[in-house]
A and B are shown apart, each in its own frame.
Chain A
Amino acid sequence: MTAMIEMTGVRKKYNTGKVFFEALRGIDLTVAQNEFIAIMGPSGSGKSTLMNIMGCLDVPSDGEYSFEGVNIRNLSSNALADIRNKKVGFVFQAFNLLPYATAYENIEVPLLFAGMKGKKRKQRVTDLLDQVGLADKVDNKPTELSGGEMQRVAIARALANKPNLILADEPTGNLDSKSGEDIIKLFHQLWKDGHTIILITHDMNIAGQCQKIIKLKDGQIHNGNNSIPK
C-alpha cells in the first residue's frame, strides 16, 4: 500500500519583500493510511504551514511531496482544488462556517463543488448530519448553534466527499472541555471507520490519545515518528 503522505526535504520560505522567513526547514515525513497523528509545537514552529502543505492548500518551496503516491509538484491549481475537495477534509479552530448559511447549506458546499446532483446530495447531507448527531439542527444558522455544534457541522462538512485524510487545526481550541472531549471522541470514531487523521493541538491530554506525536520546533521535526504507547 502506498503511503498517504510522503515528504522529503520539504521547505517553505516566505518572502514578504522585507522579511525573509523560513517556516519549514527540511521536513522528512511519512504517514501511512489510517494513522492518527498529533502535531505539537510552540507557535511559529510551522505546524499550520505543514498542515496546509499536507492538505494541498499550499505548495512547498523546496523538496518533494507525494500525496497518495502522486507528486503534487506538477499538478495544476484545479487538480489541487479537486484533491482538497475529494480527498482532504479541513477542520479549523475557528470553525469557518459560512455565517449566512444554515447547517445544511454549509455541509452542502463541498458537495456543490464536487458537482453532486440534487437528490443524492440531499441524502448525503442528511446522512452527515445524522453521523455528527445534529439531525435536528438542519436549518439552524451558525449563530444559533453552540461551539461544539458548530465544530460538528464543520466536521460533517469536512467529511462530505468521504475524504481519506482529515486535517484538524486545533479543533478543540475554541471549545469548553466537555465539547472538546466529544469532538475528540468523534475523531476516534472516524479513525476506527478508516480515516487518516492528523490534528494540531497544544493539549497533551489530547495528543496522548493519538497513535503518534510529531513535535515541531523552528520548522523541523524534533522527535521523528515517536510512538506513544497507550
Chain B
Amino acid sequence: MNPRILYSIFIRDFRKQKKRMTLTIMAIAWGTISIMLLLAFGEGIKIQMDRNRKGLGEGIVIMWGGRTTIPFQGMGTGRNIRFAEEDVEYLQRRMPELRHVAGEYVRWGVQFKYGDKVYAERVTGVYPCYEEIRSHYPRAGGRFINEIDMEQKRRVVFLGHTLKEKLFGNEEAVGKQILVNSVPFTVIGVMQEKNQMGMYNGPDENKASIPAATFAALYGHRYFNLIIYQPREFDNMEGIERRVFEVLGARHKFDPNDNQALWLWDVYSGAVEFNNMMLGIQIFLGLIGGMSLLIAGVGVANIMYVSIKERTREIGVKMAMGARKRYILVQFLVESLIIVTAGGALGMSLSYILTEGFKRVPIESEVMDFMGRPTISPEIGIIVIIILGIIGFVSGIFPAMKAASVNPVESLRYE
C-alpha cells in the first residue's frame, strides 16, 4: 500500500469528522496522561521511600538479645542473652558468609558541650563498618570512625547533622573539641543529611557516634545493646538466621529453636516486602490509568466502525479493483494506529512537560520527604507504549476485520 494514499485517506477522514477525530485523539491523550502521571507519582514515591529506607542501611539484620523460653542442657528458662565484644568476633570467625558483624553500645542523656551550648543527647559506640552498613556517610571534609580509632581507643566523635547544627550552628565542626560528659572529644566528621524511615532508639541525625572500644573503656559497658550483621549474599536470609541461632546457641547455651532467645529485625527482607508492596501499588495505579486508556480505545474502535460504515462503497470498489482482504485490513488498522499514535505522543509529551515542571516547583515540605517527586522512568515510557500499542491494535483490528469481510457485491450496492 502506498503510504501517501493511506495518509491522504486519513487526512480526508480527519477533515470529514474533524470534531470526532479530535475528541478521540484527545481521549487517547488524556488516557495516556492519566496512566503516565499515576505511574510517575508511584515511581516518585518509590524512589523517595527507597531513599528513606536506605537511611537505616541496606541488606542488614539488627539483632537484640532476648530471654530463653526452652530449657537447655540443664539450664532453666528466663535467662537473659546478652552480647559482648567476643560474640562479634566469634560470629565473624564462625560465619564467613557474613560480610560485616558489628556491635553497638547506646547511652542516653549524655551531655554535649561546645562553648556555652549544652545539650543532652544520645551517644552510640559503633564499628567502622557503620559508615557503609548504617549509612553514616560523612560530609565533605570529614571522615567516619576507622580501625585505628578503634585500636587506639581514640576520643573522636562523629556527629549527626542535627546535633551538629545545635552545637555549632553554621560554624565548621570538624577538628573542634567538644566535651562529652566532661571528656574532651575531637569532631572528625558530620553525617550527611539523610531521610531515615526505619529506626530504633531514634533518628541518627540527633546522635553522636564514637568508637565502640572508646565507649567500652569510658563508660564501662560490658554488653552491647545490639548486634548488626550483613551477609555477603542475600538469597538465603532465613538460612543465615537459623545458623546465627545455632552458632550463638552453642556459645550461650540456648536451644537453637528457642525463638525468644534472640530478636531479629531483618531489614533486607523487610525491604523486599516493601518493594513488592510498592510494585503492587504501582500495578494498581497503572490499572486505574489503563482503564481510562481502555475507554479511549473503545472510542477509537467506535470511530473506526463509523468510518468503515461511511466508506463501505469505497471498500467494495477497492475489492473490485483486486484488493486482497489483507490490504483492506491493513489500511484500517493503520488508521487506528495513527490515531492512537497521535494521541499517545501528545499525551506522553504533555505528561513529560508536567512532571518536569513539577520537579522545578520549589516546595519545601515534610510531605515531599515522603511523597517524592513524580518521575517518568524509561520503564514507564516503555510500559505505556506497549499498552498504547495493544490498545491501538485491539481497537483497530476488530473494525478492520469487519471491513475486510464485507461482501464486495453488497458494498458496491451500498449508498
- Residue in contact with B323 in the complex, picked from A90, A101, A113, CB distance below 8 Å: A113
Q: How far apart are the CA atoms of A192 and B211 in the complex, in Å?
A: 110
- Residue in contact with A57 in the complex, picked from B9, B11, B320, B325, CB distance below 8 Å: B320
- B contact residues around A81 at 8 Å (CB): 319, 322-325
Contact B322 A86 (CB under 8 A): yes
Known: A57-B408, A113-B327. A84 touches B319 (CB 8 A): yes
Contact B5 A101 (CB under 8 A): yes
Contact B12 A109 (CB under 8 A): no
Q: How far apart are the CA atoms of A96 and B320 in the complex, in Å?
A: 10
- The segment from B74-82, B179-187, B278-286, B310-318 found at the interface with A is B310-318
Contact B5 A112 (CB under 8 A): yes
The range of chain B's interface size is: 20 to 34
Contact B9 A109 (CB under 8 A): no
- B contact residues around A82 at 8 Å (CB): 322, 324
Contact A58 B409 (CB under 8 A): yes
Interface of A is mostly: helix
Interface check A78, CB cutoff 8 A: yes
Interface check A45, CB cutoff 8 A: no
Closest beta carbon of chain A to B104's beta carbon, Å: 78
Closest beta carbon of chain B to A151's beta carbon, Å: 14
- A contact residues around B217 at 8 Å (CB): none
Residue of A nearest to B12 (CB): A100
Interface check A98, CB cutoff 8 A: yes
Contact B322 A113 (CB under 8 A): yes
Contact B408 A113 (CB under 8 A): no
Contact A109 B409 (CB under 8 A): no
Contact B5 A110 (CB under 8 A): no
Closest beta carbon of chain A to B332's beta carbon, Å: 15
Q: How far apart are the CA atoms of A57 and B321 in the complex, in Å?
A: 10
Known: A52-B409, A57-B409. A100 touches B317 (CB 8 A): no
Q: How far apart are the CA atoms of A105 and B5 in the complex, in Å?
A: 8
Interface check B236, CB cutoff 8 A: no
Interface check B170, CB cutoff 8 A: no
Q: How far apart are the CA atoms of A108 and B322 in the complex, in Å?
A: 12
Most buried by A among B9, B12, B313, B318: B318
Q: How far apart are the CA atoms of A81 and B408 in the complex, in Å?
A: 11
Closest beta carbon of chain B to A138's beta carbon, Å: 15
- B contact residues around A109 at 8 Å (CB): 5, 318, 321
Interface check B365, CB cutoff 8 A: no
- A contact residues around B9 at 8 Å (CB): 100
Closest beta carbon of chain B to A212's beta carbon, Å: 24
Q: How far apart are the CA atoms of A86 and B319 in the complex, in Å?
A: 12
Residue of A nearest to B316 (CB): A96
- Residue in contact with B317 in the complex, picked from A98, A108, A114, CB distance below 8 Å: A98
Interface check A187, CB cutoff 8 A: no
Q: How far apart are the CA atoms of A52 and B313 in the complex, in Å?
A: 15
Q: How far apart are the CA atoms of A177 and B321 in the complex, in Å?
A: 27
Most buried by A among B8, B317, B319: B317
Interface check B264, CB cutoff 8 A: no
- A contact residues around B320 at 8 Å (CB): 55, 57, 84, 90, 96
Interface check A196, CB cutoff 8 A: no
Contact A108 B324 (CB under 8 A): no
Known: A98-B314, A100-B12. A112 touches B1 (CB 8 A): yes
Q: How far apart are the CA atoms of A109 and B316 in the complex, in Å?
A: 13
Chain B residues 290-322 with CB under 8 Å of chain A are 313-314, 316-322
Q: How far apart are the CA atoms of A170 and B247 in the complex, in Å?
A: 101
**What sequence of 0s and 1s flags, for each residue 72-110 of chain A, a beta carbon within 8 Å of any chain B beta carbon?**
000001100111111000101000101111000100111
- B contact residues around A108 at 8 Å (CB): 2, 5
Residue of A nearest to B314 (CB): A98
Closest beta carbon of chain A to B258's beta carbon, Å: 78
Interface check A157, CB cutoff 8 A: yes
Closest beta carbon of chain B to A120's beta carbon, Å: 14
Q: How far apart are the CA atoms of A181 and B317 in the complex, in Å?
A: 25
Q: How far apart are the CA atoms of A11 and B194 in the complex, in Å?
A: 87
Closest beta carbon of chain A to B235's beta carbon, Å: 56
- Residue in contact with A85 in the complex, picked from B11, B321, B325, CB distance below 8 Å: B321
Residue of B nearest to A169 (CB): B412
- Residue in contact with A96 in the complex, picked from B12, B317, B327, CB distance below 8 Å: B317
- A contact residues around B12 at 8 Å (CB): 99-100
Known: A96-B313, A108-B2, A112-B2. A90 touches B324 (CB 8 A): no
Known: A57-B409, A58-B409. A101 touches B321 (CB 8 A): no
Closest beta carbon of chain B to A46's beta carbon, Å: 13
Q: How far apart are the CA atoms of A110 and B1 in the complex, in Å?
A: 11
Known: A112-B2, A113-B327. A100 touches B322 (CB 8 A): no
Closest beta carbon of chain A to B400's beta carbon, Å: 16
Most buried by A among B2, B317, B321, B327: B321
Q: How far apart are the CA atoms of A83 and B320 in the complex, in Å?
A: 10
Contact A90 B321 (CB under 8 A): yes
Q: How far apart are the CA atoms of A101 and B6 in the complex, in Å?
A: 11
Most buried by A among B12, B313, B319, B322: B322
Most buried by B among A100, A157, A161: A100
Q: How far apart are the CA atoms of A119 and B190 in the complex, in Å?
A: 76
Contact A114 B313 (CB under 8 A): no
Q: How far apart are the CA atoms of A83 and B318 in the complex, in Å?
A: 13
Known: A96-B412, A98-B314, A112-B5. A157 touches B325 (CB 8 A): no
Q: How far apart are the CA atoms of A46 and B11 in the complex, in Å?
A: 39
- A contact residues around B313 at 8 Å (CB): 96
Residue of A nearest to B326 (CB): A78
- B contact residues around A161 at 8 Å (CB): 322
Contact A113 B324 (CB under 8 A): yes
11 contacts between A and B (CB under 8 A): A82-B324, A84-B321, A85-B321, A86-B322, A98-B314, A100-B9, A100-B11, A109-B321, A114-B322, A157-B321, A161-B322
**Which 4 A-B pairs rank lowest in CB-CB distance, beginning with the nearest?**
A85-B322, A100-B12, A84-B322, A96-B317
